[in-house]
C-alpha cells in the first residue's frame, strides 16, 4: 500500500482500491505490478517478468555474445563492461546485457515504466533466490535501477561515484520511436503503453550529452529504416532484421577489459 501511495503521489493521483473504468490502471499486489489499459480486456496486462517467458528463453537460447546488441556494445571483447542504459524502459535490453556479464545501471524517468521495471527486477531476484539459482541471482545483482532523467545525470560529467562504483564504459540509448504502421509485432497493450510514455522528443539532447562523456562508446538502437538520431552520423552501424545499432566510437576500451 505504501508503494502504491508513493507512486500515486508522484503522478498526482489517488490510490483507489476498487478501480473504476480508467483509461489506464496500474495494479499493485503481492504478485507484483501490472498496467491494464481500458478496452484491451482481451489483451494481457503489461508486466515485467525476466525469469520466465520470452526474456528467460532469450537468455538461454538467444545466441549469447553473438547477438547484435552484444557486438554493438562491445561485450564480445571479453571483459566485464559497465553500461549505463539511459532509456531503460521495461528493461529487456538491459537484462540481455546483464545476462552477458555487463554491470548495468538502468535509468528510467517514467514513473509508470519505472514501477513495472522495479517489480520485474524484484520478482526476478526473489525467484532466483528461492530457486537457489546463483547465475540468475548474479544477473539481477548486476542491475541497478535509478529513476532520474538521464539528461540531468549526464548534464554533469559522469563520475564513478555519482552512479556506480565502476567507470562507465558505454552509454546505451533506445528512445521511443513513433510506430507509423500498425505492426503485428507491437500488440495493442504495448501500443497503449507507448502512447502513455510518449515519443521521447528530447532524445537528440540526450545523445548530445552522452557524446560529451569520457566513455568508450555510445550505442543507439533505431528501427532499421530510421535516420540516425538527431541526424548525428555514427562511426558505424550494425543492422539486423528490424533494428539497427548506431555506434559512436569515442575511445578504445581499457586494455584490462579486453
Ligand atoms: C523504447 S523504451 C526503451 C526500451 C528498452 N530498451 C527495453 O528493452 O525495454 C524508451 C524508454 O526510455 C525512457 N526515456 C527516454 N528518455 C529518457 C531520459 N532522458 N531519462 C530517462 N529515461 C528516458 C522512456 O520513458 C521509455 O520508457
What DSSP letter does each residue of 136-157 carry, written as one string?
HHHHHHTEEEE-S-HHHHHTS-
Average pLDDT over residues 22-37: 87
Distance from the alpha carbon of residue 174 to the mean position of ligand 1, in angstroms: 6
**Which uninterrupted H or E stretch holds 219?**
strand 217-223
Cell of 130: 528461492
User: Quick check: CB of 243 below 6 Å from ligand 1?
Assistant: no
pLDDT surpasses 70 at 196: yes
Instruction: Give the number of the atom of ligand 1 that is nearest the alpha carbon of residue 110.
Output: 25
For residue 182, what pLDDT band results from cuts at 50, 70 and 90?
low
User: Quick check: CB of 91 below 6 Å from ligand 1?
Assistant: yes
pLDDT number for residue 106:
97
The contacts of residue 62 (CB under 8 Å, 6+ apart) are 96
Digit-coded pLDDT (tens) for 197-228 = 888 999 999 999 999 999 999 999 999 999 99
Phi, psi dihedral angles at 155 (to 5 degrees): -75, -15
pLDDT number for residue 177:
83
Nearest 5 degrees, angle CA 228-CA 214-CA 239?
A: 30
Average pLDDT over residues 159-166: 76
pLDDT number for residue 126:
97
pLDDT number for residue 7:
85
Name the more confident of 202 and 8. 202
Distance from the alpha carbon of residue 18 to the mean position of ligand 1, in angstroms: 30
pLDDT surpasses 60 at 38: yes
In the chain, DSSP finds a helix count (H) and a strand count (E) of: 10, 9
Instruction: Give the number of the atom of ligand 1 that is nearest the alpha carbon of residue 107.
Output: 21
User: Quick check: CB of 170 below 6 Å from ligand 1?
Assistant: no
Residue that has been written with the C-alpha cell 513513433 in this structure? 178
pTM, two decimals, is 0.92
Digit-coded pLDDT (tens) for 40-91 = 556 788 999 999 999 999 999 988 889 999 999 999 766 689 999 999 999 9
Distance from the alpha carbon of residue 130 to the mean position of ligand 1, in angstroms: 30
Distance from the alpha carbon of residue 177 to the mean position of ligand 1, in angstroms: 10
Per-range mean pLDDT, top range of 26-35, 159-168, 205-214 = 205-214
Name the more confident of 76 and 248. 248
Out of 107, 109, 192, mutate this one to test ligand 1's pocket (max ligand atoms within 8 Å of CB): namely 109
- 92-125 b/e (C-beta count within 10 Å ≥ 16 → b): bbbbbbbbbbbbbbbbbbbebbbbbbbbbbebbb
pLDDT-wise least confident of 14-28, 73-87, 108-122, 238-252: 14-28
Phi, psi dihedral angles at 249 (to 5 degrees): -85, 125
Name the more confident of 179 and 222. 222
Give the 3-state secondary structure of residue 104: strand
| Closest Cα to atom 15 of ligand 1 | 87
pLDDT number for residue 97:
97
pLDDT number for residue 41:
58
Torsion, Cα 113 116 117 119, to 10 degrees, reads: 160
- Residue 194 CB-density burial (10 A; 0-12 exposed, 13-18 middle, 19+ buried): middle
Amino acid at each position: 500500500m505504501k508503494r502504491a501511495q508513493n507512486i500515486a503521489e508522484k503522478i498526482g493521483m489517488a490510490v483507489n482500491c476498487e478501480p473504476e473504468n480508467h483509461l489506464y490502471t496500474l495494479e499493485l499486489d503481492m504478485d507484483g505490478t501490472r498496467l491494464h489499459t481500458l478496452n484491451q480486456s482481451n489483451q494481457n496486462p503489461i508486466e515485467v517478468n525476466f525469469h520466465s517467458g520470452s526474456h528467460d528463453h532469450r537468455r538461454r537460447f538467444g545466441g549469447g555474445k553473438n547477438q547484435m546488441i552484444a557486438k554493438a556494445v562491445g561485450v564480445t571483447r571479453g571483459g566485464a563492461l559497465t553500461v549505463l542504459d539511459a532509456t531503460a524502459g521495461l528493461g529487456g535490453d538491459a537484462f540481455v546485457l546483464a545476462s552477458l556479464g555487463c554491470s548495468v545501471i538502468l535509468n528510467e524517468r517514467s514513473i509508470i515504466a519505472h514501477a513495472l521495471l522495479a517489480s520485474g527486477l524484484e520478482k526476478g531476484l526473489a525467484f532466483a533466490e528461492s530457486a537457489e539459482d546463483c547465475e540468475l541471482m548474479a544477473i539481477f545483482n548486476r542491475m541497478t535501477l535509478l529513476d532520474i532523467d538521464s539528461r540531468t545525470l549526464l548534464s554533469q560529467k559522469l563520475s564513478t561515484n555519482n552512479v556506480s562504483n565502476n567507470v562507465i564504459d558505454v552509454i546505451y540509448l533506445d528512445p521511443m520511436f513513433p510506430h507509423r504502421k500498425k505492426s503485428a509485432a507491437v500488440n495493442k497493450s504495448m501500443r497503449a503503453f507507448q502512447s502513455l510514455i510518449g515519443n521521447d522528443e528530447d532524445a537528440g539532447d540526450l545523445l548530445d550529452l552522452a557524446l560529451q562523456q569520457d566513455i568508450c562508446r555510445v550505442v543507439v538502437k533505431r528501427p532499421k529504416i530510421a535516420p540516425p538520431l538527431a541526424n548525428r552520423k555514427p562511426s558505424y552501424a550494425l543492422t539486423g532484421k528490424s533494428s539497427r545499432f548506431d555506434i559512436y566510437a569515442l575511445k578504445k576500451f581499457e586494455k584490462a577489459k579486453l
